Structure formats: structure tokens, C-alpha cells
Amino acid sequence: MADLLIKAEGETDPDYGTFPDERPIEDHIKRGIVNLDKPSGPTSHEIDSWVKRILGVEKTGHGGTLDPKVTGVLPIGIDYATRAIQMLLGADKEYVCLMHMHEEISETEIREILKEFQGKIFQTPPLKSAVKREMRVRNIYYVNILEIDGQDVLFKIGCEGGTYIRKYCHDVGEALGIGAHMAELRRTKSGPFTEDETLTTLQDLTDAYHIWKEEGDESFIRDCILPMELAVKHLPKIIIRDSAVDAVCHGADLAAGGIISLDDKIKENDTVAIMTLKGELVAAGESLKTSKEIYKANKGIVIDIKKVFMEPGTYPKMWK
């Protein structure tokens, strides 16, 4: 867990911006993310369009595609949050998978091969994939076997974003010399989004929306839709002064003088989230220095801004 390095003192003006949990309901929705429990059958894009229709919003977008038959955690960004949801694409994932072996094999051999298929592995994306088919390295953090029943193996796997579990099962089968395939798959985690109390079904979302519209009770829709800031919870943070916010919103890179505090574990080239003192997401960028170097710097550009999420004018212009 990163600690916070306090670089300067600073206060935030209550007349500008809003604490994420205190946004008016319409704004909460437009800057929100649904931690959706995807059912088996529809594509991720179909789920997007259904959420868009349920809420009557302009845009929706998901963070990490799931195949039609795969279920589980599918974060959906709404309107302004559709760009923020892209920050989840490289985030760590967790799945529960049912793998079917094509021939009988001992439990010992299964357990041994799954131990070997941890750490860094090589994968070539499958034919039906949205990325270029070239060999790449992916990290497998853990594989916990939950149950072995004959030729069926149920396991939980934690992995780097961009790992193909269908290909993982195929490669395990090839290594054993008997063949194997992914029979069922459920995603249980995508970055900070998990199968906790915030997981929402399409029916939950529909009901919550109608209760708000028809009865004026917004508590349920607030439970179903989370602030977009959660999409960068897994990233190191830099907190900036109110006076620096609008310049960053206009695309300026972040200088050392605009920083109030920062996580102490930032490395050079890390992707970092730029936040206001109220906890609002302003932008994301690439760190040009380490935490220690940023902390000591009095001037100069320290973050190369790559994506801006806050609209210019949210905070007053204090730059020339």
C-alpha cells in the first residue's frame, strides 16, 4: 500500500468542483460506472447498448470485453466516464474457470502443470481477438484449484490484463499432451471492480432507474452507479492544487509546482491518475520522474498528460 508524500499545503475552494459522492444525481449518472454482472449470451457491446437505453444516456462503454458466453464483472462507463473506463484495460483480472481435459489424467499431473503455468507465460492471442496475433508475455499471479472432478478442473486464476483464459486452457492441455478446453468462465475481478456488494444486474439497474424517475428516490440508482474515480483506484495518485486544475484540463503537462501530494511508490514511466483535493479525477499521464524526484522538484514538468477527463472551466482559469 502506497503512503502519501505531502509536498505542499493547500485548500480547495467549495465554489468549484464537487466531491464525487456529493454530485447531483444527473451528474452522478453522467460521470458514473456500473459494476455490471454480465449474463451469458449477449456480447459486451449489446450490454453497452442495453445500459444506454435503460438510463437514457448518450454514451456507454465497457472496460475489457467478455465473450458472449462468459459471465461476471463488466464495468460500464456512462457518458463522461466512457474515457475513464479505458484505464481498466491493462488492469489485473481474476476469473473462475472450468477446464475440461480431453482424456483422463492424474490429479498430481494436473496440479504440477498448473504450478508451471504461473509467473510469466508466453501467449499468442487466439484467431478471434481484437489485437495483433503475436507472441507476448503475460503474468499469472496465482492459480488456485477449487475442485477436480474426473476430467473437469475448476480453478481461480489471477492474471495480468490481456491474458486469454481460453488460450491458457488450450496451452495447458497441449503441455499435458492430452488436450483441454475452457468449458465455462466467469470474471470475478477487473482492476478495483469485484464481485462485492456493488455488483449490479441489468434488472437491478432497470428497477433503480424507475424508482428514481417514478418515486423520486435516488438511493437505489446511487447504489447501482459508482463514481468514475473508481476506475483509477488501482493507479498511483497525484493530488494537485485548485489553481493547476484548469491548465491540465486544457492539455497542459503537470509541473512540480502544481502538486500538493503524491503516492510514494511512483516509478518513472508509470501511469498515474491526477486528482483534485476533492478527490475528482482530472487526468491521467505518464510520470517522467520517480516519487522521490517529484517530491524534491520545485519546478519543471514531471507528468506527461495523456488523457483528460475533466471539462475545462470546472475550476477557474489561473494561468496565462
Please give the grid coordinates belonging to residue 85: 473506463
Which residues is 15 bridged to in the sheet?
none
Average pLDDT of span 214-229:
97
Radius of gyration over alpha carbons of the chain, in Å? 22
Query: How far does Cα 289 stand from its chain's mean position?
Result: 24
Residue 86 lies in a domain: no
Q: Is residue 143 part of a domain?
A: yes
Full residue range of the structural domain in which residue 113 is found: 91-188
In a domain, 172, yes or no: yes
Kind of pairing between the strands at 237-240 and 259-263: antiparallel
If pLDDT is split at 50, 70 and 90, which confidence band does 126 have?
A: confident
Give the pLDDT band (50/70/90) at residue 125: confident
Cα dihedral: 283, 285, 291, 294 (round 10): -80
CB 93 within 8 A of CB 75: no
For the chain, what is the domain count?
Answer: 2
Residue 243 near residue 13 (C-beta atoms within 8 A): no
Say yes or no: 171 and 256 in one domain. Answer: no
Instruction: Assess if residue 319 is contained within a domain.
Output: no
Mean pLDDT in residue range 27-47: 97
Per-residue pLDDT of 139-167, as tens digits, reads 999 999 999 999 999 999 999 999 999 99
Q: Are 241 and 15 in contact (CB under 8 A)?
A: no
Rounded Cα distance between 14 and 11, Å, is 9
Active site residues per annotation: 67
pLDDT of residue 320: 63
pLDDT of residue 97: 98
The residue out of 139, 167, 188 marking a domain boundary is 188
Mean pLDDT of 169-173: 96
Question: Given this model, what pLDDT does residue 90 score?
Answer: 84
Indicate whether 113 and 177 sit together in one domain.
yes
* 274-292 residue pLDDT tens: 999 999 999 999 999 999 9
Q: Is residue 158 domain-resident?
A: yes
166, three cell numbers: 481460453
Cα gap 75→200, rounded to integer Å: 10
Last residue of a domain, one of 164, 188, 212: 188
Select from 188, 216, 248 the last residue of a domain.
188
Tell me if 55 is assigned to some domain.
no
Helix (H, G, I), strand (E, B) or coil at 303: strand
Query: In angstroms, rounded to a whole number, what is the distance separating the alpha carbons of residues 8 and 127?
Result: 52
Tell me the CATH number at 261. Answer: 2.30.130.10
Judge if 174 and 99 occupy the same domain.
yes
Q: Could you tell me what percent of the chain has a pLDDT over 70?
A: 98
CATH of the domain at 95: 3.30.70.3190
pLDDT at 261: 97
Per-residue confidence (pLDDT) for residue 130, from 0 to 100 = 61
What is the DSSP-derived secondary structure letter of residue 67? Answer: -
Which pLDDT belongs to residue 3? 84
Considering the domain architecture, whether residues 95 and 184 belong to the same structural domain is answered as yes
Residue 117 within a domain: yes
Residue 20: what pLDDT? 97
Query: What gap in Å lies between CA 36 and CA 198, rounded to an integer?
Result: 9
- In a domain, residue 64? The reply is no
The residue length of the chain stands at: 320
Shared domain check, 178 and 245: no
Strands (E) in the chain, as ranges, are: 4-6, 32-38, 60-62, 71-78, 93-101, 119-123, 136-149, 152-159, 180-190, 193-194, 225-227, 237-240, 254-255, 259-263, 271-275, 281-287, 301-308
> Residue 158 in contact with residue 44, Cβ under 8 Å?
no
The string of DSSP letters for 142-158 reads EEEEEEEETTEEEEEEE
Is the pLDDT score of 63 beyond 90?
no
- pLDDT of 2 > 80? The answer is no
